[in-house]
Amino acid sequence: MRAFSIYSEISGVVLNETDNPSVKLFSLFHEVCHLLRRTSGICSLEYGVEERYEEETFCNQFAAEFLVPSSDLREELKNYTLAGETILEDAGDLSKIYGVSKQVILLRLLYLGVLSREKYYSLKQELESTEIKKQGGYRNWEEVFKNRTGNLTIRTVRRKLQENRLSFYEALTILDVKTNYAEKLLHTLITPAWCKL
């Protein structure tokens, strides 16, 4: 699951912390759209699912348009051929420009009529098989932590530790990290003044 939202008196959005930031960004705006429409939902980039659920289609289109405006993308597409073997490379370049995943770019190209459904499914399958090969079996805990916590929080804690305005315990509490990981994590990611002594 990419994400889900619950609409009620106190609404909420939950994102999958293992997703890349660009994927989480799309999921966030998809779920925000659900809340704006006063509905709950689950984020999926599956086009087949969208065809069955009008609400999911609308939320995907909202997130896609918000993050990759069609008028801007059409202008940007003038610099790309989007043909043959280079489509996924071009989608990679475009994903860097807009800060979204390649899959979101493929979805945008589908919505704009640049890609047929068949081509979209083919490229999506190729992209997914490539990503599975890259993942491997080892999970980099530090990357997961940085992805979950965010660089702004880590930088702020680093600065406050170096200024001696936070204790080690306070840093652990703010970062919500277990003590057995703290020494390595704080030394690797934050390098406070006390580690240099």
Map out the domains of the chain as residue ranges: 1-67, 68-137, 141-196
Q: What's the residue count for the chain?
A: 197
* Range from 68-82, 124-138, 161-175 that averages highest in pLDDT: 68-82
Q: Best-predicted range by mean pLDDT among 21-25, 76-80, 169-173?
A: 76-80
Cα 57 to Cα 48: distance, rounded to the nearest angstrom = 10
The distance from CA 131 to its chain's CA centroid, rounded to whole angstroms, is 14
Q: Does residue 192 carry a pLDDT above 60?
A: no
What pTM was computed for the model? Answer: 0.59
- For 37-91, write each residue's pLDDT tens digit: 998 887 665 544 444 578 888 888 899 899 999 999 999 988 887 766 778 888 8
| pLDDT value of residue 194 | 46
Band of the pLDDT at 196, cuts 50, 70, 90?
very low
